[in-house]
Amino acid sequence: MSSTITNLLIGCHKRGTPSPSFVSDIALGHGGSPYVTVLLFTSGVGYGAKYADPLTTPTDYGEQVAFQGNDDLAVACDGSPFIVVYPWTPGVGFGVKYLDPGVLPVGSDGYVPAFCDNTDIALAQLSSPRIWAAPWTSGVGFGVKYADPLTLPAGSGYGCAFCGNTDIAVVTLTTPYVQCYPWTPGAGFGVKYANPLIACVGSAHGVKFCGNTDIGIAGHGTERVSAYPWTPGAGFGAKYAAPATKPAGQAFDIAFCGNTDVAVSHTTSPRHTTYPWTPGVGWGIKYADPGVLPGTSYCVNFFGNHDVGFAHTVAPNITSYPWTPGVGFGVKYANPAVVLPGLADGVVFR
């Protein structure tokens, strides 16, 4: 890539706060080798060139993915070591894979990785203890695994998310479906917060915090989505009323666009549903669907407040749109020139 593009990329801020150039990268976890693919992405333009694949690819099916600022990229995968992390350089791409953690996640399938700023890394996985976490240092890699929480999540872990550096949430297939813990970098899990007074309806597959004011959960129950006010150190508030128009199918993921909007990926057309969001109030009236719909959507993420991307089951397995808070979807971006070798389970913008 040109030095101009490289300089623009290096000037980008952390994911969710793009620089004035709006030049970034989009990473995808997917089936089929190399299991992770990263493309250049420019807001208002769309997909650019594909980065070269990493020298050492993940060992199996790529699930969800996460950037740590501009410095690192984590991939959850179905085969041991279940989490793989690479140095990342905007405009250059993958560095040499970090050494695997000294104490590997056990059992089966890593599903969702999450960074806590540049100090820690966590992985939701299907086998007990369902949540795994370790210190993280960019340029060095994994530290010594944190002790498991005293109260383990109930059921297979399908999602996790940090609330700043104060809390961590895990969603599972078994009641109470969402479990949250205080988090201290360098110390790890605190004593589990009390469960919400009104539980999620059905198994949960995705979770995100809206800043430090709210938490949203995507799931397979009749409501499809649940959301609660959130207070670090106190926990769940009274559950928000369900949206007037619920997602049409089983929900797999949820993402907030700052504190103004929220998107849900799900089965059944239109396969993604988006709403205005107001902390303290909750769901607004559903935005109109875009003109061109994706396949069954497994993951959703926003790029700042300018774009939104959905990982899904139908070629090209990634669909992205311009996004305007208060307005909604723009015209779908042209498909990337590179076709993924399998369905996509994860998408994230740097």
Cα–Cα dist 125/109, whole Å: 6
pLDDT tier, 222 (very low <50, low <70, confident <90, very high otherwise): confident
DSSP 255-285: EEETTTEEEEEESSTT-EEEEEEETTTEE-P
Report whether pLDDT(174) > 80: yes
Q: What is the pLDDT of residue 295?
A: 87
Please give the CATH topology (third level) of the domain spanning 3-349.
Neuraminidase (2.120.10)
> What is the token pair recorded at 37?
């693919």
pLDDT tier, 278 (very low <50, low <70, confident <90, very high otherwise): very high
Looking at the DSSP bridge assignments, the partners of residue 282 are 278
Angle at 168 between CA 66 and CA 197, to 5 degrees: 130
Q: What is the pLDDT of residue 5?
A: 34
pLDDT tens figures, 23-69: 899 999 999 999 999 999 999 999 999 999 999 999 999 999 999 99
> What is the token pair recorded at 124?
């939701």
In this prediction the pTM is 0.92
> What is the token pair recorded at 231?
């207070």
Containing H/E element for 9?
helix 3-10
pLDDT tier, 97 (very low <50, low <70, confident <90, very high otherwise): very high
Report which DSSP code applies to 7.
Answer: H
Burial zone of 13 (CB within 10 Å; 0-12 exposed, 13-18 middle, 19+ buried): middle
Residue that the structure tokens 């069954």 belong to:
296
Find the largest Cα–Cα distance for the chain: 55
Q: Where are the domains of the chain?
A: 3-349
